[in-house]
Structure 1
């Protein structure tokens, strides 16, 4: 026998061994499926039933990339997602051929003017620019990576003129002056990793005129990476301002207030996606996060459902007043509006006592979160387009609207959504998931599990390596600039000098039958 014959025999025997091994493996899997007691499908259809679980596992990805249309998909459709990505990466917000919106459905529309404003008539700071970088698409072939050029860019910052700036805490020793109407909503270090927080801080600082809310996880060194104004949020867990026994520590509050970047404090009473205390799985609680929050590492964190420091409006107002006196800086509250009566109660007490928060953040039920429960996310708390008008109207009715700044949050990821919120009574808006998408979020819906594949909502060091801070910071700046530019574009279409002038007269609601009412007409019936 020659060498070729030996190779044939060896190959035959090897193939036979592999075949027998595969048959044995199939038989073992069959027997396991047939006799396990957990899954009826596998007991009745061994092997074949595994295809059902395989397809179920791939279902979310298949729907997102293959089966959903451009306007389907929750929380964000493919169209919404790509709009954010293109704004952040390319500073592009142009579409072709026509809108994908279903104009037969009921919805809100911005009321255009017969004679819109010319661009040169708009009132904004024409000298302030942003030194950033953007991608220029050179070629986008089907089977190979797209060819792009990363180039310097120096766009206008689209900051409000000084006379139009929004002042939070006008009567405080250190009022907070804001020259951009878009800022970052509360996102904690812990819910997001340090790469994500750093990129957001640096990018927001680059964009100028904006702010960063720390979330209830406390102030971290990564929030301070950029020279960005900070609203430090304090939740019922008191992270960042508690002592070793978990009690409110006024000395720690004073220390935080003396950091120049900390411009205001926010007491988190509730969050739209979860009208309860926050939650972080233990896998995400590293030693560093535990030290900042003063908790045990690698243990799940559940904040109390409410503050133990106050139990009523009088007690809360006293607490707010003491914080303002102690720090000299504005203090606000974050709430979820559940009813007109609740909004009236807050507004009437402000009128009665001539005190209260310097700002109120209203979070809609559609807002995002790192971790919550299905029943809370779906059914507790009104959406922003219902809750914002209720709060605004209550403040107007009791004559205290001019004493407080309203900040709206809840899927405020596009200029038109922001303009509608401003028309409904908001002075400023918070953006969270839009900024997450800007730095790479792909909506894998794994925020709670510490396995975010793009390194945004994870504290895993290996996964965070995928998020390059020095590249993503530019996307943050580009996204914020594009939002502000879009707001001025909408203001011009509505015949306004500036987006600060949006009011109830500038938005109409069209029902499914085509009937139209202005917001002002709707508010009269509330």
Structure 2
């Protein structure tokens, strides 16, 4: 009897299912392959569906994956988990290819010579591997004190020094804009708490508005104002000065950022209706479960004179620094902005410069692939223009665009940035596995989703420490690189500290 049942299960049932699929696919009219080759066609579509995962884990080389290779991914995951960026046996970088390199000094700096504030230690948690085999890993989590790697107060980057409430920044690294709605409440909460625990770092709310989850920790906040005015709008969609006042009165809110463009999307944001819960709709002042598309640009301004007037009004109303987030498409863009700042004596207190390689939870392929310049090209254009028109000392530049490791951050600082910010590195710290399903609300890691069931997989108490560790290792790495370059602070990195090597081995000074 048992043998008969086993035969039915192993032979008869699969054959019956195959026969059903065969005749079902023969009759359907949508797929020609399935009509002509029902069984093989099913195998084709199944393999195609599993293709991204198979390539990522089995077939792609460590340095081949996009938008981040496996090596780049691990350089974000491991520091967050183990509070260490140490590798063994050598780099996996292709040293025959073209790229930027940081010039080492013949006489480097000692740790005690560095201009750094490491007085107040950070209490965090890290994992320690006890035993690792082919099919198992035994590890435990332990509480450890960690150095904060902050700028001394006298070296702080001051944004808006002439504002009533300047923003004194002592962390060279912060979190780039990510909205509640694009990310779920557990992810935003873990980020807020982890960034706050790392001390003095900031997070940008993204254009979705300021949520209670952004305020869950002690992170400094840059409140972003997008073209859809989410969190800053009336029911009719007009700008609300009353809501702006509410945000400005919060001590955690240190500055406001007007989002004009983002690297991956030179247009307004997009959120699918299924992600717009009642809570998110209330924060954004929109209709629940309705797809949101922000306008391509603000209705409040359409050129530099009206933009600068709007910046002045927001600054006067709040007393806090006001910046803009932009993407540069060419030299003339930077020249026009800088020249108008010089001509009027007005302008933003900071510029968040995003590169075309920046990420997004949802955008269009054509915009992400081909519109706007990459960060390293545009950063030099912007810095050059601001210096040419002698307004560089009036504005701070915050760079973003695939800055995920200390060396990439150091190169951005050397090219002209005052500060750097990261988005996807923080997403990976809280569990992102690069499934590239951010726009579907089906994020398997519970990061880029508002689905309550999927979010349960993201445990805030565990992930917040990974965020803290990621920040600490990034900041430590910046000071380590500065010391190797013979500098006592990463703030002193300049263009002459980096060189460009082409594929033939020729070296060019960046300046």
Q: TM-score, normalised by structure 2?
A: 0.98
Where does residue 142 of structure 1 map in the other structure?
Answer: 134
| 1:89 CA drift (Å) | 0.6
Where does residue 236 of structure 2 map in the other structure?
Answer: 245
| 1:126 CA drift (Å) | 2.8
Decide which of 105, 116, 121 is 2:108's aligned counterpart: 116
Where does residue 450 of structure 2 map in the other structure?
Answer: 459
Whether 1:416 and 2:407 are equivalent positions in the alignment is yes
Pair 1:148–1:309, CA change in 2 (3 A): same
Pair 1:13–1:323, CA change in 2 (3 A): closer
Where does residue 512 of structure 1 map in the other structure?
Answer: 503
Where does residue 212 of structure 1 map in the other structure?
Answer: 203
| 1:36 CA drift (Å) | 2.2
Whether 1:92 and 2:89 are equivalent positions in the alignment is no
Where does residue 259 of structure 2 map in the other structure?
Answer: 268
Q: Which 4+ stretches in 1 moved above 3 angstroms?
A: 11-25
Measured against aligned partners, the alpha-carbon deviations of 1:180-202 in whole angstroms (never above 9, x if no partner) come to 11000000000000000000000
Whether 1:161 and 2:161 are equivalent positions in the alignment is no
| 1:142 CA drift (Å) | 1.3
Decide which of 382, 386, 390 is 2:377's aligned counterpart: 386
Where does residue 25 of structure 1 map in the other structure?
Answer: 17
Q: Secondary structure in 1 aligned to 2:390? A: coil
Where does residue 282 of structure 2 map in the other structure?
Answer: 291
Q: Secondary structure in 1 aligned to 2:146? A: coil
Provide the aligned C-alpha RMSD in A. 1.4
Q: Distance in 2 between matches of 1:202 and 1:503?
A: 33
Q: Secondary structure in 1 aligned to 2:38? A: coil
Measured against aligned partners, the alpha-carbon deviations of 1:13-52 in whole angstroms (never above 9, x if no partner) come to 8956985555443333212222322222222212111111
Where does residue 170 of structure 1 map in the other structure?
Answer: 161
Q: Distance in 2 between matches of 1:260 and 1:177?
A: 13
Decide which of 309, 316, 336 is 1:325's aligned counterpart: 316
Matches within 5 A, 1:119-134: 119-134=111-126
Matches within 5 A, 1:409-448: 409-448=400-439
Q: Distance in 2 between matches of 1:440 and 1:416?
A: 23
Where does residue 32 of structure 2 map in the other structure?
Answer: 40
| 1:453 CA drift (Å) | 0.8
Where does residue 80 of structure 1 map in the other structure?
Answer: 72
Whether 1:360 and 2:351 are equivalent positions in the alignment is yes
Task: Give the paired residue count.
Answer: 511
Matches within 5 A, 1:2-21: 7=1, 12=4, 15=7
> In 2, are the aligned partners of 1:287 and 1:297 still within 8 Å (CA)?
yes
Unaligned runs of 5+ in 1: 1-6, 521-526
Q: Distance in 2 between matches of 1:31 and 1:489?
A: 66
Larger Rg: 1
Q: Distance in 1 between matches of 2:319 and 2:135?
A: 59
| 1:264 CA drift (Å) | 0.3
Q: Distance in 1 between matches of 2:230 and 2:440?
A: 21
Pair 1:249–1:43, CA change in 2 (3 A): same
Unaligned runs of 5+ in 2: none
Q: TM-score, normalised by structure 1?
A: 0.95
> In 2, are the aligned partners of 1:71 and 1:100 still within 8 Å (CA)?
yes
> In 2, are the aligned partners of 1:128 and 1:158 still within 8 Å (CA)?
no
Measured against aligned partners, the alpha-carbon deviations of 1:309-348 in whole angstroms (never above 9, x if no partner) come to 0011000000000111000000000001001001100000
Q: Distance in 1 between matches of 2:97 and 2:4?
A: 66
Q: Distance in 2 between matches of 1:386 and 1:288?
A: 40
> In 2, are the aligned partners of 1:348 and 1:398 still within 8 Å (CA)?
yes
